[in-house]
């Protein structure tokens, strides 16, 4: 029997909402990197390639999995190999009987008609299309939904003012929670959360929202760990959005260890005066650890005091954390903060696609940390060398926007196999440029804007003005030109 991959026909998009053509999906046996076979058809007769790529519209095709595999892991990357998400221990859900051909249609008159609770086969159950409302807007202390067994599916849920909306207790292996919305007309109190994960492996959460602006909100949208929790592994939290004054994701290893967590698609757009201290918080206490967290595709506005906090206060470790494809804006406060009072805080990798440069302190440190590696592109006022390659027709010009109104540094300009020059520049409204070394008198530089026919005929000319470089070719034929820019 076969199960249908729920991301079939899904369009994979970049941060600008554009489809990613050639994105790849790798399918593995759960908990491993051993590839499994996935199929084009319900009867499992024709295999897909593995990895599978999106089409010209950025969409994956229909994918069927062999239910005999029970659980699987899927990793989706960009064409260049950057991980978009990596979800593990996902159940393969198929029909309860039959095989080879799709089952016969079900009599709609035999289905539950309320749309509230639908029971399915196996150990779990399904809650879908439920709206919980209170006659009087007060805080509800108990959870609307509480599960303690595996393979529960909770989808399309709405509620008002619940201190605990959904609780997954130990034993809730492979529970899946999707599209949850909460509004708050009363204060749910300290320690409250929309979704609380107290244990289990392979819990996936996709789509948690607080759509209205208010000074009232839970402490966290998703809270994993904390008092009374057991070990948590393989948690995936994706696509949180809201404007309320609450944490979006809080990992709290104070009663048990937390490992192998994916946090993807956090969007915080709250208002001044109602912002949380942090949007994403990882913290340890006592003897417990957090090991292995991937944080990607996040957008955090200027109002929280810090965007992301890593707080190590246990005798254990907080390590193996990666961050990519994120923006934290605002002129005050911290971007990413590292706070250590005990144990080990280290092995953190932040790549060049993370931008917290607007913050007063983009990366803040308190206490001794180790092995924090931040890409130079993510650091303000620190630059690596960047190389550009052009084919410039005769009497034409190429430009490089240095993305600063004032830029000082060095430029190495090369055309063909022998012609090159090294220049010291200051690209500003009052620019300067001087030659350090050139191979011949026809490789020159000027503090001016070039248009393609500005410089002397027969020359290769570098122009400098107001944060822009100009490379003008008047050598009489098309030229392959490379330009290496190094900031001072």
Same domain assignment for residues 270 and 126: yes
> Comparing 51-60, 119-128, 467-476, which segment has the lowest mean pLDDT?
119-128
CATH code at position 430: 2.60.40
pTM over the 0.75 mark: no
The length of the chain in residues reads: 488
Q: Taking 70 as the threshold, does the pLDDT of residue 381 lie above it?
A: no
Strand ranges across the sheet with 2-4: 2-4, 64-66, 38-39
Least confident of 118-132, 415-429, 465-479: 118-132
Tally the domains of the chain.
3
Among 349, 378, 407, the domain-final residue is 378
Question: Does 45 lie in the same domain as 188?
Answer: no
Which of the 8 DSSP states describes residue 48?
A: P
**Distance separating alpha carbons of residues 182 and 218, to the nearest angstrom:** 10
Q: Which of 87-96, 169-178, 310-319, 428-437 has the highest mean pLDDT?
A: 310-319
Residue 476 confidence (pLDDT) above 90: yes
Q: Give the chain's mean pLDDT.
A: 86
Per the domain annotation, does 170 fall within a domain? yes
Residues 210 and 311 in one domain: yes
The bridge status of strand 2-4 relative to strand 64-66 is antiparallel
Decide which of 91, 107, 137 is a domain's last residue. Answer: 91
Residue 13, pLDDT > 90, answer no
Q: What are phi and psi of 262, to 5 degrees?
A: -115, 125
Q: Which domain holds residue 273?
A: 115-378
The one-character DSSP state at 13 is B
Domain annotation covers residue 209: yes
* CB-CB contact of 269 with 301 (8 Å): yes
Task: Say which CATH number the domain at 43 has.
Answer: 2.170.14.10
C-alpha distance from residue 484 to each of 132, 390, 406, 437 (Å)? 60, 12, 18, 14
Residue 104 domain flag = no
Within a domain: 181? yes
Note the pLDDT tens digit of each residue in 256-287. Answer: 999 999 999 999 987 777 788 999 999 999 99
Reply yes or no on whether the pLDDT at 449 is more than 80. Answer: yes
The pLDDT, as a whole number, for residue 453 is: 95
Specify the DSSP element, H or E, that contains 298: strand 290-300
In a shared domain, residues 147 and 273 = yes
């Amino acid at each position: 029997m076969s199960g249908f991959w729920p991301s079939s026909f899904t369009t994979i998009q970049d941060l600008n909402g554009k489809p990613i053509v050639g994105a790849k999906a790798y399918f593995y046996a759960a908990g491993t990197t051993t590839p499994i076979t996935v199929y084009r058809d319900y009867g499992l007769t024709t295999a897909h390639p593995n990895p599978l790529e999106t089409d010209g519209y950025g969409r994956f095709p229909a994918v069927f999995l062999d239910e005999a595999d029970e659980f699987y892991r899927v990793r989706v990357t960009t064409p260049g190999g950057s991980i978009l998400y990596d979800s593990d221990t996902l159940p393969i859900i198929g029909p309860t009987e039959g095989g080879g051909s799709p089952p016969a249609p079900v009599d709609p008159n035999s289905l539950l008609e309320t749309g509230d609770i639908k029971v399915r086969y196996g150990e779990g159950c399904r809650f879908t299309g439920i709206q919980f409302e209170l006659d009087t807007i007060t805080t509800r202390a108990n959870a609307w939904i509480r599960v303690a067994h595996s393979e529960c599916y909770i989808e399309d849920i709405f509620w008002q003012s619940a201190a605990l909306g959904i609780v997954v207790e130990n034993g809730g292996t492979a529970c899946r929670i999707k599209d949850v919305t909460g509004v708050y007309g009363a204060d749910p109190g300290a320690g409250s959360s929309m979704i609380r994960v107290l244990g289990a492996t392979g819990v996936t959460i996709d789509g948690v929202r607080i759509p209205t602006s208010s000074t009232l909100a839970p402490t966290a949208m998703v809270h994993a760990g904390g008092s009374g929790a057991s070990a948590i592994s393989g948690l995936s939290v994706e696509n949180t959005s809201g404007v309320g004054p609450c944490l979006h994701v809080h990992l709290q290893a104070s009663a048990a260890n937390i490992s192998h967590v994916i946090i993807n698609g956090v969007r915080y757009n709250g208002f001044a005066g109602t912002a949380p201290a942090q949007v994403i918080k990882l913290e340890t206490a006592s003897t417990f650890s957090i090991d292995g967290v991937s944080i990607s595709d996040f957008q955090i506005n200027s109002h929280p005091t810090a965007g992301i906090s890593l707080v190590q206060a246990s005798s254990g470790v907080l390590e193996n954390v990666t961050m990519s494809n994120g923006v934290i804006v605002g002129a005050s406060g911290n971007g990413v903060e590292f706070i250590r009072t005990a144990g080990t805080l280290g092995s953190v990798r932040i790549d060049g696609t993370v931008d917290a440069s607007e913050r007063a302190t983009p990366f803040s440190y308190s206490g001794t940390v180790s092995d924090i590696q931040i890409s130079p592109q993510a650091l303000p006022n620190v630059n690596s060398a960047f190389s550009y390659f052009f084919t410039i027709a005769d009497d034409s010009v190429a430009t490089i926007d240095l993305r600063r109104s004032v830029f000082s540094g060095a430029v190495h300009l090369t055309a063909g196999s022998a012609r090159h020059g090294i220049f010291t520049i200051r690209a500003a409204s009052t620019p300067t440029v001087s030659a350090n070394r050139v191979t011949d008198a026809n490789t020159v530089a000027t503090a001016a804007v070039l248009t393609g026919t500005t410089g002397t005929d027969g020359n290769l000319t570098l122009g400098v003005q107001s944060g822009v470089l100009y490379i003008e070719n008047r050598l009489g034929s098309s030229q392959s030109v490379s330009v290496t820019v190094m900031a001072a």
